[in-house]
A and B are shown apart, each in its own frame.
Chain A
Amino acid sequence: MKNVTVKTFVAIGIGSALFFVLGRFAAIPVFANTSVNLQYAFLGFMAVVFGPLAGALIGLIGHSLIDFTSWGPWWSWIVTSAAVGGVIGIVGRKIDVEAGEFTTKSAILFNIANVVGNGIGWFIVAPTLDILIYQEPASKVYMQGIIAGTANIVTTAIIGTLLLYAYSRTRTKKGSLDKE
């Protein structure tokens, strides 16, 4: 916790608030009980910009709040959100958007992080915990995991990448000053 700056903790706070608002009010229903969850694209973005600790905690706090204010804590999926944020943060460590650079290479790296993070989370962690904790039928929870995971990977790939690109444009490039 030594090398973590004050900014990271503020980012965790505000990020969780945004995660909550996006999850609660900006979800686009596709069909019964399923919606496009924009908050996971945002989570991937924050994990890359502010690091794995921020990613994990935004997932944890944001998802807990959504659950606590709606259907009660659903720990298997809360843990999954935290894991997704953490893994994307770790894999995406090399991407340096702060320096104003977002190349094709960083986009590919981000999407590898995206597939690894969301894949591990929704295809493995969530259904396995659902079975261990809640003993729901395996076929049902793996189906849910595959639907949720695929949707999250696709939204993160499109919206997360766009967000990172837009963000890198707002940063000043290294050596961008010219001597006249």
Chain B
Amino acid sequence: MSSKLGLGYINRCSPVHSLTGATKFLMAVLSSVAAMITYDTRFLAAMIVGAAIVFKISKIRFREIRFVVIFIAVLMLINSVAIFLFSPEEGVMIYGARHEIAHLFGRYYLTQEQLFYMFNVILKYFSVLPMALLFIVTTQPSEFSSSLNRIGVNYKIACSVALTLRYIPDVKRDFDDISRAQQARGIDMSKDERLIKRLQNVLSVIFPLIFSSLGRIDTISNAMELRGFGKNKTRTWYNDRPYRIADYLAIAFCAVLVAVSIALNAVNGGRFYNPF
């Protein structure tokens, strides 16, 4: 699915690639939970540095993920502006101190606390991102579903996930085909069209797309039923990969991260690290 998403599995030979898919998935989930729990600046910064090191080990180049980083940077900028507009005194409320830098206009004052709070929000977003990215670019989709089953997800649901990853390129191709066919008939979906008209035109693409996919659901479920899918409580996998010491170590390390992040809440007496 790589070229379709602009982001997908990149095959390299590295220690990160040789971890099982479930390990990387758990790492992504655990580290995002760890980043979620605390707002400790030092912890979040350390997580970003740590993730950068793991990226180095995985032999993924920065330019391969550059557009995602730029994309989130823009998103962050908009979000920060929104936070400031809605609640310019949020930082003052959280840190219980007020160091004014400048008066902008009306009720908007620039304070050190607010800047520090917004800096923390940005850090938080950026510390969630790298492990999720790493999981996507270093995990082979079919290996992922078998390892999902290994960590206790019902195998039928694991198969649903496998089907999703398998069919995203197909659905995307259908989408492109239908959309080109409709454009050839003179249906305009670009921003030149008025919003309501444009919405109608987009509908003329997604209706056939949805109904052809419903047909696909029938075909696939018939085929699977004929092969006796779902008869037994368990199943075996073609793409199964055994867990090794590195997997257990990686998961244990991320579990420790979550524990540290919980402990930091107690140490800081709240979720925020307060330098003021």
The answer to whether A17 touches B217, judged by C-beta atoms less than 8 angstroms apart, is: no
Can you list, as one digit per residue, whether each of B158-175 has a CB less than 8 Å from chain A (1) or not (0)? 011111111110111001
Number of A-B contacts (CB under 8 A): 172
At the interface, yes or no: B240 with Cβ under 8 Å from chain A?
no
The answer to whether A14 touches B216, judged by C-beta atoms less than 8 angstroms apart, is: yes
Min CB gap A99→B, angstroms? 16
The stretch of B96-104, B105-113, B129-137, B251-259 in contact with A is B129-137
- Chain B residues positioned under 8 Å from A25 (CB to CB): 172, 175
Among B5, B129, B206, B214, contact of A38 (Cβ-Cβ < 8 Å) = B206
Of all chain B residues, which has the CB nearest A74?
Answer: B128
| Complex: A7 Cα to B230 Cα, angstroms | 11
The answer to whether A28 touches B164, judged by C-beta atoms less than 8 angstroms apart, is: no
Among A4, A7, A21, A45, contact of B172 (Cβ-Cβ < 8 Å) = A21
The stretch of A60-68, A84-92, A110-118, A120-128 in contact with B is A60-68
The answer to whether B167 touches A38, judged by C-beta atoms less than 8 angstroms apart, is: no
In the complex, 20 of the A-B residue pairs with CB atoms within 8 angstroms, ordered by the A residue number, are A6-B229, A7-B225, A11-B217, A11-B221, A17-B165, A17-B168, A21-B209, A33-B78, A38-B202, A42-B210, A61-B160, A70-B71, A73-B29, A134-B121, A136-B83, A139-B87, A140-B82, A143-B86, A167-B214, A170-B211
Where the two chains meet, the residues of B that have a C-beta atom closer than 8 Å to any C-beta of A are: 5, 7, 28-29, 32-33, 36, 39, 68, 71-72, 75, 78, 82-83, 86-87, 90, 94, 121, 124-125, 128-133, 135-136, 154, 156-157, 159-168, 170-172, 175, 191, 195, 198-199, 202-203, 205-207, 209-211, 213-214, 216-218, 220-221, 224-225, 229-230, 271-272
